[in-house]
Structure 1
Amino acid sequence: MSDLINVAKLAGVSRATAARAFSDPHLLRTDTLQKVLMASEQLGFRPNHIARQLRTQNSTTLGVLLPSLLNPIFARQLQAMERQARVAGYGLLVATSDYQPEREAAIVEHMLRQRVAGLVLTVADADHSAVLQTLQQAEMPFVLTHNVPQESHWPAICVDNRQAMQEATDHLLALGHRHIGMVAGPMLQSDRARLRYQGYGDAMQRAGLLSLPVIEMASHTQSDFARLQPQLQGDTPLSAVICTNDLLAISLIGAAARAGVRIPKQLSVMGFDGIDIGEHMAPSLASVTQPVDLLGAGAIDMLLQQASRGTRVLPHQIRLGASIAAPALSLIANSREPS
């Protein structure tokens, strides 16, 4: 990375003036400041040592990177984080990646240039994220939410996605379902979804049943019923599906109704997240509930403590709803092995 001297040379100013552009920009003339900032941008220079000083003395802004605010789970988490940060005297700078891993680096770089004091973020893949390596090298405090690092010790706060999905599948198995599928958005964009699929597979294997390939949708929040419909036909149709988030489950229930599939008589549907709107649907949505208020507030606490390492696992619950029921007798008959 180019150092401050190279920035000064390119801008045609002294090193002291270049340093002042990052530490006391209000002391420089506008045209001089713009020259330094343009040179810094051109050379890819980020003043780590100055940023550290600003973080420890002056910065009262925390960065937040979330996949989306269209999903109420992230919006409610953000609200909890904003409340907790405000109590501690901090404001939030918020950005969304739209579930696009390639956008994460640009967003984080922008936040570093904005001199945030630390970041709370959810990335596509915590164990293979170059963004987290960048933050570590910049000595920038950060906390992951929802991500569950498997090969590293990044600070994180989450539920046990694998265990939660195993329990959700166990509940459907206890109702008598044997042909259960999992519906997800693009799997490469979510390490959480991959862990949930492992939990589904754990439960099916323990029950001596075949776990099916993920029914992958093009979107994390919009279902394409045509991708599921073939699984509802034939000699062994699915009697239940678990979706990797509630919005996907709600979309699927609507699509099923339009296709004439009755929920839960013909197909039980369970979600994941426990968003409030699911309880007000007809039928009400069964779901794995995450303590999102606790997660949001806990992420800010972990970030400001800065001594936190490893993963803090929060409790989850299974919220029952009218979207799941025991399978119809005809489906049970079809699921029996031939004698």
Structure 2
Amino acid sequence: MDGGAVTIREVAAQAGCSIATVSRVATGNGPVSGPMQKRVVQAALQLGFPLSPARDARRAVLGVLVPSLTNPVFAGVVAGVEQAAQANGLSVILAQTHYDTAREVGIVAALIAEGPVGLVMTVCNPATSEALAQVVRQRLPAATVYNENVPAGLGAVSIDNRAAMRRLTEELIALGHRSILFVGGRFASSDRAACRYAGFCEAMAAAGLPALPAQEVDFIEAAEDIDMSSAFQTLEPTAIAVSNDLLAMTVISSLRRMGLRVPEDVSVTGFDGIDMARHMSPRLTTIAQPSRTMGVLAASMVLGIARAGHAPSHLRADFTFTPGETIAPYRRDRRSFPLPTQQDRSSHDA
């Protein structure tokens, strides 16, 4: 709204209730029905009116928002948040957005309505996230995990995604690969994938090599299956840098269906260091990030903001290059796609 600060009277008018009802929702004192509380919260969020209850009126819970629990990297963060929450006598409310920015907004509104001590979040893109903007306007203690370039007023725990992907790409270049493909989730749904592609491009440019266009895929669909045949027919890569481990496993399955061997024909790298990547065969070459520790740090930061008045800070966790068995030196005699048919081979032999 134009003009000065939003008043409680304006929120009451928007929600269709009394000023006293808005006051009860804002302070956490007094009974309010579930539907009315939802209406008041939605009106306050739309108008930018702070609803965070007084410190002693907040519920003993931490809200946690992640894109998806399909990817074990987020389960690691949740485990860390739960560890810190339990150590401080709190419970956890968990929600997932499935990489949907519109869903982020509604879920954050619902979490705020619960009156939590604070929030630990991974959003699609912090630069454009209305959900994060809501949290800032509410002055609710919060910290993101994995996100980079997080707005002021919020805590953050992340790694240097650019540097990590540069490290992986440089490894592939050192093995003689010159045509390297980047496969990642849609950048609009993941600032992490966008940062990793930027690091990939930096490594390619430093080596005097052209960076192929990024192959952006839907995270949820690609976790189940992905078809790499079109990319191979048009781009002919000899190596693939993938933006996360779960997606790398799907890429490897696609390559095998195409008759290509990893790493003899195509080298593949992942990113995250999830446990199952260590147990697959061949073992995945990847970047490991300390997900559980990052969850503990984020939750502890939120509690420090909420209970001790600490200022939000941005922390960088260390990443680790984890050698595996899915990369190898470039070979001139490697198989390429499409593989020759038996008839093609017979004609060539004749």
Q: TM-score range by the shorter chain?
A: 0.7 to 0.9
Match of 2:290 in 1: 291
Letter in 1 for 2:52: A
Partner of 1:337: none
- CA deviation string 1:122-173 (max 9, x = no partner): 1111122222222111111110110001775742101100000000001111
The equivalent of 2:132 in structure 1 is 132
Deviations 1:174-209 (CA, angstroms, capped at 9, x unpaired): 122111110012221111111100100010011111
What is the match of residue 74 of structure 2?
A: 74
Q: What is the deviation of 1:17?
A: 6.2
**Is the 8 Å Cα contact of residues 11 and 35 (structure 1) preserved in structure 2?**
no
- Using structure 1 for the length normalisation, give the TM-score: 0.85
Aligned to 2:223: 222
C-alpha separation between the residues in 2 aligned to 1:106 and 1:8? 21
Equivalences for residues 1-339 of structure 1 within 5 A = 3=8, 7=12, 15-16=19-20, 19-20=23-24, 23-26=28-31, 33=33, 36-37=36-37, 40=40, 44-45=43-44, 51-53=52-54, 55-149=55-149, 154-219=154-219, 221-222=222-223, 225-226=226-227, 228-233=228-233, 237-306=236-305, 307-330=310-333
Mean alpha-carbon deviation: is it higher for 203-212 or for 143-152?
143-152
Taking the aligned partners of 1:39 and 1:222, their CA distance within structure 2 comes to: 36
AA paired with 1:290?
Q
Cα 1:44/1:325, change in 2 over 3 Å:
same
How far is the alpha carbon of 1:263 from its aligned partner? 0.8
In structure 1, list runs of 5 or more residues that go unmatched. 333-339
> What is the rounded CA distance, in whole Å, between the counterparts of 1:38 and 1:181 in structure 2?
46
SS at 1:249's partner residue? helix
The alpha-carbon deviation at position 309 of structure 1 amounts to 3.1
2:67–2:97 contact (8 Å) kept in structure 1 = yes
- 1:84 offset after TM fit, Å? 1.0
Q: Does the Cα contact within 8 Å between 1:223 and 1:252 map onto a contact in 2?
A: no
Amino acid across the alignment from 1:273 = D
Matched letter for residue 317 of structure 1: T
- The 3 A distance-change label for structure 1 pair 262 and 298 is same
Cα drift, residue 52 of structure 1: 2.7
Q: Distance in 1 between the 2:239 and 2:15 partners?
A: 63
Whole-Å Cα distance in 2 between the matches of residues 10 and 230 of structure 1? Answer: 52
Which residue type is aligned with residue 149 of structure 1? Answer: N
Q: Please state whether the residue corresponding to 1:157 is helix, strand or coil.
A: strand
**CA drift at 1:60:** 1.2
Cα-to-partner distance string for 1:1-60 (whole Å, 9 max, x where unaligned): 6735874998776x546644663445x8xxxx468547636x72469666331x344421
Q: Write the letter of the residue equivalent to 2:105.
A: A
Is there any run of 5+ residues in structure 2 with no aligned partner, and where? 1-5, 336-350
> Which residue identity lines up with residue 79 of structure 1 in the other structure?
A
CA spacing shift, 1:128–1:50, aligned 2, 3 Å: closer
Distance 2:107 2:34 in 1: 21
